[in-house]
Copies of this chain bind each other. A is one copy, B any other.
Amino acid sequence: MPRTKGDHEARRRDVSEAVWQVMATRGFAGLTLRAVAAELGATTGLLTHYFPTKRTLVTYALDLLEQRTIARPRRPAGKGLIALRHALMDILPLTPEAADSNRIWVSSWDAALSDGELSADYARKYAQSRDKLRDRVAAAQELGELLPGNPAHIAAGAQSFTLGLVVQALFDPAAFAPQRQVELLDDYLATLAAPCSSNNDRSA
């Protein structure tokens, strides 16, 4: 029976899912043709049809990570401070799917930092992400929800806070359950908002 285009696309989806699962559990360091084949229940030979070299597998995995990040469900932006909060919550590992995705991002940093081109590409992506946050900070300032100050500086701070919280939550999901992540984020946002006395008033 001849293979159809539908078969081909279904197989491609299966391969993508297998690559994703291997990255989520073993990271980029554990991403091998053999591991993907085992996840897929296929032979390594079949995989070499898709990925003739390790490099093509890594490139594919990085593309997949970017596509899934772009396509991930997001909270509605809303207005002002709430839009900033939603953008930062969209980054945090608050669901198992977001934890997988973040774990793969963190894992990819090793490869990215060792490759000049990839590193520059990551730097551009993070700069774009800060620019979007900056616009949301500025909008919240216009509404009087955030204290005045350089919105680019505040956005860089918010991005730092969120990325570092991601790393801590990945290593210690018990200490950084979703609810605590959101509390920490809200405490942080409260320090950026007037009046200052409302922040850090939790005693638990």
Residues of B within 8 A of A171 (CB): 109, 112-113, 119, 122-123, 126
A53 within 8 A of B: no
**In the complex, are the beta carbons of B199 and A149 less than 8 A apart?**
yes
Of listed A28, A153, A157, residue having the most chain B CB within 10 A: A157
> A112 — nearest CB in chain B belongs to which residue?
B171
Contact stretch, chosen from A3-11, A42-50, A63-71, A183-191: A183-191
Chain copies in the assembled complex: 2
0/1 string, A163-204, CB within 8 A of B gives 1: 111111011100110000001100110011011110111111
**In the complex, are the beta carbons of A163 and B168 less than 8 A apart?**
yes
Closest chain B CB from A89 CB (angstroms): 14
Chain A interface (Cβ within 8 Å of chain B)? 25-30, 103, 106-107, 109-114, 119, 122-123, 126-127, 147-150, 153-154, 156-157, 159-168, 170-172, 175-176, 183-184, 187-188, 191-192, 194-197, 199-204
